[in-house]
Amino acid sequence: MTARIIRVAGSLVEAAPLHGALYELAFVGTRRLLGEIIKQRGDVCTLQVYESTTGLAVGEPVEHTGVSLTAQLGPGLLGAVLDGIGRPLERVAEATGDFIAPGARADTLDAEQQWAFTATRAVGDPVEPGDELGTVVERAITHRVLVPPGVHGVIAAIDSGTYTVTTPIGALTDGTTLRLAHRWPVRIPRPVAERFASSRPFVTGQRVFDLFFPVAEGGSAAVPGGFGTGKTIIEQSLAKFSEADVVVYVGCGERGNEMTDVLTEFPLLVDPRTGRPVMDRAVLIVNTSNMPVAAREASIYMGVTIAEYFRDQGNRVALMIDSTSRWAEALREMAARQQEMPGEEGYPTYLASRLGQFFERAGRVRPLGAPTREGAVTIIGAISPPGGDFSEPVTQAALRVTGSMWALDAALAHQRHYPAVDWESSFSLYADQVAPWFTTHGGEHWSAVRADLLALLQKERELRDIASLVGPDALEDHDHLVMDIAAMVREVVLRQNAYHPHDAISSPPQTYALAHAALEAFRDGERALASGTAFAELDLAPTRRALAAQRDGVTP
């Protein structure tokens, strides 16, 4: 008996009689809109539809597919711009125009593009999941073609040559066909051989992050900030300058004009390490605020699955989510339509667990298969708390499951301080973990310089509170020195110019040298005061100019 629609509520559809497993896909209505089963009650299934349901009517047919939402993984992903369910927007636009037509279909990978495959295995070789079959050169990286998870056996046929992603490159003795691409369910983490703690930092090139609030490679960070605090600029800078082999950027529920800026600017960004366009090592997933919320909810899973795929090849992958709040709002909307019990501020009670499950897919791992390799997925999740209120549920849930918080401050942003990171609210649980690496590659006394500068900034905060009560004239000379040097640290060391050719990126040795110079200036001032010199007699202007010249790469 054919299943029919019995109820439509926005992007939520109920159909009966329909029997299927949770998260399996179905084609809904005569236009065959793609939907996903999210609830079952007897022979009635509730589906969330990934496309606009305008015009959908009760009585239209529903066809169950028996498979869940999957990502097509293989050569051709780098440089791609996809929607939340993996459709390439360029090819969809060619077929339907500027607006996606309901029921539009397009595979993620171009089935007609030819790839030069070099086999590294031979006939008769036994293979296990994750084993390398060969390589394809794709843009900026050597793309490993791997045995898909769950597949093993003995190679019966394989050969180097030119293939499409759908053409067989070989076969196993049991008849299993081998291709350049395979599919993987987006809601299931890809299996790995081993997970381990990382002692290497995710080097961002931004001094305030690397020095004060580092993130371990394979770790996670939450970036909460109100409107206009620079979340998008920070993520673009990380995409351009961070030490990542591959960048996956998910625009989840953001305004269309913001995503237009990203799509316009990303192809123009140049990787300073290779001189190649950043898009050669990037995948963009776009799901703007006017797109259906169900696809928005799926977009971050599509992004992390693609990130895990490149991780399994032995790459260091940075996954940027902008923003996690819009994903949480999609959860809230779907939960309300299902009439679920609301939690705080209307969010579903499972918000924290869903967020935790997602961030747990970050990590540094040894992937399955041979040759032995290491890969990492580092997740940076921007959060847009209403009114900049960090006590709201999404921010608080993220803080419980991430290892670092880069809290953005609107007041600093309005002062043109970039990155607008509030060093009083931000934190990192990875600082001790990555300190040995920074000591080796940044500077001998990295941890001590970090601790002393943080203490200096904290002391300045206390003195500002005192000065606001008793006036600055009541402060002692040493207190004035603390406040002046701390201001120098804030303005010269922690502030960067995203458009300056020398200051846009700061390597660990450059960061250490600048921070150490600021600390030495403070110690020189202390020695001068101890020798009897009054603070009014100290001339800190040359010190400030010297630090600024050092920051900007100007030779005195």
Per-residue model confidence as pLDDT tens digits over 452-473? 999 999 999 999 889 888 888 8
* Cα dihedral 320, 324, 326, 328 in deg (nearest 10): 150
pLDDT, one tens digit per residue, over 300-324 is 999 999 999 999 999 999 999 988 9
Q: In the predicted model, what is the mean pLDDT of residues 28-41?
A: 92
- 245 with 394, same domain? yes
Domain end call among 137, 155, 180: 180
pLDDT band at 273 (very low <50, low <70, confident <90, very high): confident
pLDDT band at 241 (very low <50, low <70, confident <90, very high): confident
Indicate if the pLDDT at residue 555 is higher than 70: no
Indicate if the pLDDT at residue 506 is higher than 90: yes
* Cα dihedral 332, 334, 339, 343 in deg (nearest 10): -20
pLDDT band at 29 (very low <50, low <70, confident <90, very high): very high
Give the count of beta carbons closer than 10 Å to the beta carbon of residue 149.
18
Average pLDDT of the chain, as a whole number: 92
Provide the 3-class DSSP secondary structure of residue 379: strand
- Tally of domains in the chain: 4
- 373 with 264, same domain? yes
- 136 with 54, same domain? no
User: Looking at the domain assignment, is residue 464 inside a domain?
Assistant: yes
> Which CATH number characterizes residue 140's domain?
2.40.50.100
pLDDT, one tens digit per residue, over 383-429 is 999 888 899 999 999 999 999 999 999 999 998 899 999 999 999 99
Indicate if the pLDDT at residue 556 is higher than 60: no
- 547 with 520, same domain? yes
Range of the domain at 28: 3-68
pLDDT, one tens digit per residue, over 215-228 is 999 999 999 998 88
User: Looking at the domain assignment, is residue 436 inside a domain?
Assistant: no
- 81 with 95, same domain? yes
> Which CATH number characterizes residue 64's domain?
2.40.30.20
Residues with Cβ within 8 Å of 241's Cβ and at least 6 positions away in sequence, in order, are 204, 205, 206, 272, 504, 505
Indicate if the pLDDT at residue 152 is higher than 90: yes
The predicted structure's pLDDT at residue 32? 93
Q: In the predicted model, what is the mean pLDDT of residues 233-261?
A: 85
The predicted structure's pLDDT at residue 321? 93
User: Looking at the domain assignment, is residue 400 inside a domain?
Assistant: yes
Q: What percent of the chain has pLDDT over 90?
A: 71
- 382 with 403, same domain? yes
Domain end call among 139, 154, 180: 180
Q: Which of 5-19, 321-335, 359-373, 540-554: highest mean pLDDT?
A: 359-373
In terms of Cβ atoms closer than 10 Å to its own Cβ (0-12, 13-18, 19+), residue 364 is buried
pLDDT, one tens digit per residue, over 62-90 is 999 999 999 999 999 999 999 989 999 88
| Amino acid letter for position 298 | A
Domain end call among 139, 155, 180: 180
Whole-prediction pTM value?
A: 0.94
Indicate if the pLDDT at residue 254 is higher than 80: no
- 175 with 201, same domain? no
Whether the CA torsion 544, 546, 552, 554 is positive or negative: it is positive
The predicted structure's pLDDT at residue 474? 84
Whether omega for the bond prior to residue 61 falls within 30 degrees of 0, making it cis, is no
> Which CATH number characterizes residue 289's domain?
3.40.50.300
**DSSP H or E stretch at residue 405:** strand 404-405
**Between residues 539 and 288, which one has the greater pLDDT?**
539
pLDDT band at 34 (very low <50, low <70, confident <90, very high): very high
Q: What percent of the chain has pLDDT over 70?
A: 100
Q: In the predicted model, what is the mean pLDDT of residues 182-188?
A: 95
> Which CATH number characterizes residue 496's domain?
1.10.1140.10
